[in-house]
Chains A and B, each alone.
Chain A
């Protein structure tokens, strides 16, 4: 099969690999029809995530068709169309039994602090991902769901992470009617977090980024007020002015490890790997939320330490909430919202790239060329 393969920082290529075998009785092999490149894939691509091995196939957002099932799989048969959450999870461990699917304890031998994620380094379990023609899906009876007949395939692939995570970010904010919500990051997750904030009754939604074309999308797609932080001397002061010096009720960090806005923070983390991530957006979130407010973190960070302004968080009495999204818990409600026309996730897709050209896709997305917001990968096995 053809598959994207990591060759070292900033370098990938497409190679011929063996179709993955069934390794466990509840495995399925899925023929991938659509995949996506996630902003967090860029952390792997830039060599930031420890134990990212040459030869690994990335990709935790994908949908496809069941090709083969293990002996204990009961819910699916070859030919079924499925959407697969980015979480690999067993369904029965301490955490899964409480709905914390992203924190499963039975699927990642390499680390206890994070669950299993497809194509996301050995730190997240060492599973090859879906930027390939075929992928192994463990616990096929637990994670995947059939794609509803009425659902657009591009909407389905965005439900496997970006939309579920954005909605989860708004939910972690515990938004109540009339709240002012600030979202750092106008990438896919930030756009969905902003859009979801309205569903939860926000009174104002403000999106902050430095890419004008993404802010334009935040205005048209997510009905948000926008600020380009690169145009202000101090975005925190602007946020205070914008909220009558109170600060926002809820701030969502939808940026994560490669945040821009402070040269030293960015370079020491993204370039020199001396921090688990550049906590600029997180520090700005702590600074711009009101005292007693809530900071929600759905941006991804690496496992090492980061220079976070924890003293301010403590002194302001903040509630910090964060996690990887338990995707499947979000799905029934998100299905409803898509069906009702409240959400149309595929509106943010800007690029559809054949698997053979995935190296260009990564560069376009990483360097923010061509007004790229969300690139999808089209495999040749369709």
Chain B
């Protein structure tokens, strides 16, 4: 009890645990564990043959945090910024540091714009986006969707109902808008 000096009595002694659990106490000494000490200066630690890495070619103006002194010598080249979402991303990187909430909120907004740019563009291709196959939701029928959620208390069931709305809602709204626009166009033609 914390109201007196001694620790609560242990249910099992170290000897019992060593006998019962494979490897118990193999790393008992805190000083003899990997990553100890946390920082240990050794410039030859990793066997690198450079003091500063050779620079990777910059094939487009690579967006970077303004907290960096310069573009890092190596960087990822996935998905360069494009379109309206790309403009938002570039603005966010150019204007705000990582310490500003505006930086992250703009990037999140760009992510949503990016998704809709690609959804709309996909309808001009032979492989339009398909929320049924892309969400993998059909696995609900093959991987025990109902049984996985019944017979046991799961804390995530109180919000899982929101997922179809979050995923499908914007599609339904867009579909509704498209139907309304088509009707209006038809009416205009009739008049």
Considering only residues 128-161 of chain A, those with a C-beta below 8 Å from chain B are: 128, 136, 138-139, 141-142
Asked if B143 contacts A360 (CB within 8 A), the reply is yes
User: Which of under 10, 10 to 19, 20 to 34, or 35 or more describes the interface residues of B?
Assistant: 35 or more
Asked if B135 contacts A10 (CB within 8 A), the reply is yes
Which of A50, A55, A175, A337 has most chain B Cβ within 10 Å?
A50
Residues of A within 8 A of B38 (CB): 99-100
Asked if B25 contacts A359 (CB within 8 A), the reply is no
Asked if A199 contacts B93 (CB within 8 A), the reply is no
The interface bits of chain B over 17-49 (1 if a CB of A lies within 8 angstroms of the residue's CB, else 0) are 100111111111010011110111111011111
Asked if B53 contacts A54 (CB within 8 A), the reply is no
Total contacting residues, chain A, CB less than 8 A:
118
Least Cβ distance of A26 to chain B in Å?
A: 7
Complex Cα distance, B144 from A367, in Å, reads 11
Asked if B159 contacts A25 (CB within 8 A), the reply is no
Q: Given contacts A54-B115, A171-B35, A210-B155, are A7 and B134 in contact (CB under 8 A)? A: yes
Asked if A199 contacts B26 (CB within 8 A), the reply is yes
Residues of A within 8 A of B45 (CB): 91, 96-97, 99
Return the chain A residue nearest B24 by Cβ: A198
Residue from the list B74, B79, B118, B144 in contact with A107, Cβ < 8 A: B74
Asked if B98 contacts A303 (CB within 8 A), the reply is yes
Tell me, yes or no, whether B145 is within 8 Å of chain A by CB.
Answer: yes
The secondary-structure label for the interface of chain A is: loop
Return the chain A residue nearest B1 by Cβ: A244
Asked if B166 contacts A243 (CB within 8 A), the reply is no
Complex Cα distance, B108 from A303, in Å, reads 11
Q: Given contacts A92-B43, A98-B39, are A12 and B76 in contact (CB under 8 A)? A: no
Complex Cα distance, B78 from A51, in Å, reads 12
Least Cβ distance of B116 to chain A in Å?
A: 8
Q: Given contacts A326-B35, A362-B136, are A111 and B74 in contact (CB under 8 A)? A: no
Complex Cα distance, B167 from A233, in Å, reads 32
Q: Given contacts A177-B14, A363-B136, are A126 and B77 in contact (CB under 8 A)? A: yes
Asked if B153 contacts A228 (CB within 8 A), the reply is yes
Tell me, yes or no, whether A368 is within 8 Å of chain B by CB.
Answer: yes
Residues of B within 8 A of A333 (CB): 27, 33-34
Given contacts A196-B27, A362-B136, 19 further A-B contacts (CB under 8 A): A9-B166, A9-B167, A11-B167, A12-B136, A13-B130, A24-B53, A51-B89, A53-B81, A92-B43, A92-B48, A107-B74, A122-B76, A126-B77, A171-B36, A177-B28, A178-B7, A198-B25, A201-B14, A271-B166
A and B contact pairs by CB, cutoff 8 A, 5 listed: A122-B63, A199-B26, A266-B159, A267-B159, A369-B144
